[in-house]
């Protein structure tokens, strides 16, 4: 009997900790963000639900090809709570990804979201790396119609492995997933991380650090 109570307690504790690790579920039908409010809350302030309009839940533009004329050869078009005010508190968002031939969506992480990606056109080599100490790289080549998951918080990337443009759509489990692009955060921070720190972290000469920092 005591064992059963202990076991039940453990299950309840575990369930609660899992629930708390994710965004809280909404306590109302919706919370269309009030962009005119200056109040600071965890998320965005709701406007009066009586004033909500269809356009608060609407975005048009994911049919448009992103401009991939940039050094990495890819473009992300986000549709998060910033683009759709009605997404606020709902724990979901979507992005369109365009890739030039051999273009890369460089290693990055979403601190608040798992991502599920579907290839619409072309072929992508995708991968993510598990956390320390294993840092195991899990990769796959995807074709049109294939779906792949990037677990929350893990560093991941995609590369177009073809001589034509590629397109993907990805859904994310947060209305505000956040993006940390590793190279930009580490070598392009403002102000820069000191070269002393980066030379030790990457085990390279200062000239290498200076050179990489100059790229960002
Ligand atoms: C795409 O971006 C490049 C670089 O910023 C720019 O020169 C070019 O005009 C853009 N093309 C279109 C169609 O907007």
Residue-by-residue DSSP string for the chain: -HHHHHHHHHHHHHHHHHHHTSPPPPSSS---B-TT-----SS-PBPPGGG--GGGG----TTSPP---STT-EEEEEESTTT-GGGTTS--EEEEEEE-TT-EEEEEE-TT--EEEEEEES-EEEEEEPPTTT--EEEEEE-TT-EEEE-TT-EEEEEE-SSS-EEEEEEESSSS---EEHHHHHHS-SSPPPHHHHHHHHT--HHHHHHHHHT-
Q: Which residue has the least CA distance to atom 4 on ligand 1?
A: 69
Closest Cα to atom 10 of ligand 1? 67
Q: How far is the CA of 67 from the centre of ligand 1 (A)?
A: 6
Please report the pLDDT score of residue 42 as a whole number. 87
Q: Which CATH number does 2-178 carry?
A: 2.60.120.10
pLDDT at position 58, please?
98
pLDDT digits (tens, 9 = 90+) for 5-32: 555 555 545 554 554 566 778 899 999 9
Q: Residue 4 pLDDT > 70, yes or no?
A: no
Ligand 1 interacting residues, C-beta cut-off 6 A: 67, 69
Identify the pLDDT of residue 41: 87
Ligand 1 centroid from CA 163, angstroms = 20
Tens digits of residue pLDDT in 140-174: 999 999 999 999 999 999 999 999 999 999 999 99
User: How much distance in Å is there from the Cα of 95 to the middle of ligand 1?
Assistant: 20
Give nearest CA residue, ligand 1 atom 7.
69
Residue from 67, 71, 98 whose mutation best tests the ligand 1 pocket (most atoms within 8 A of CB): 67
Q: Each residue of 22-72: pLDDT tens digit?
A: 677 889 999 999 988 988 888 899 999 999 999 999 999 999 999 999 999
If you measure from the C-alpha of residue 69 to the centroid of ligand 1, how many angstroms do you get, rounded to a whole number? 6
- The 10s digit of each residue's pLDDT in 169-212 is 999 999 999 999 999 999 999 999 999 999 999 999 999 999 99
- The pLDDT of residue 149 is 98
How many Å lie between the centroid of ligand 1 and the Cα of residue 134?
41
Rounded to two decimals, the pTM is 0.87
Q: Which ligand 1 atom lies nearest to the CA of residue 67?
A: 1
| Residue range 61-108, pLDDT digits in tens | 999 999 999 999 999 999 999 999 999 999 999 999 999 999 999 999
Q: Where are the domains of the chain?
A: 2-178, 180-216
């Amino acid at each position: 009997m005591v064992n059963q109570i202990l076991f039940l307690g453990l299950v309840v504790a575990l369930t609660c900790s899992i629930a708390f690790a994710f965004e809280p579920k909404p306590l109302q039908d919706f919370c269309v963000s009030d962009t005119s409010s200056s109040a600071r809350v965890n998320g965005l302030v709701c406007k009066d639900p009586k004033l909500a309009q269809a356009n608060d839940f609407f975005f048009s533009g994911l049919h448009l090809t992103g401009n991939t004329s940039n050094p990495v050869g890819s473009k992300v078009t986000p549709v998060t709570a910033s683009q759709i005010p009605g997404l606020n508190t709902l724990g979901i968002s979507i992005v369109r990804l365009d890739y030039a031939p051999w273009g890369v969506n460089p290693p990055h992480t979403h601190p608040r979201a798992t991502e599920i990606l579907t290839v619409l056109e072309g072929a992508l080599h995708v991968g993510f790396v598990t956390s320390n100490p294993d840092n195991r790289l899990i990769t796959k080549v995807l074709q049109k119609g294939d779906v792949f998951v990037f677990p929350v918080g893990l560093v991941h990337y995609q590369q177009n492995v073809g001589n034509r443009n590629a397109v993907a759509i990805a859904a994310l489990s947060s209305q505000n997933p956040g993006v940390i692009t590793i190279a930009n955060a580490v070598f392009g921070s403002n102000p820069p991380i000191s070269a002393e720190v980066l030379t030790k972290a990457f085990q390279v000469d200062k000239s290498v650090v200076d050179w990489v920092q100059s790229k960002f």
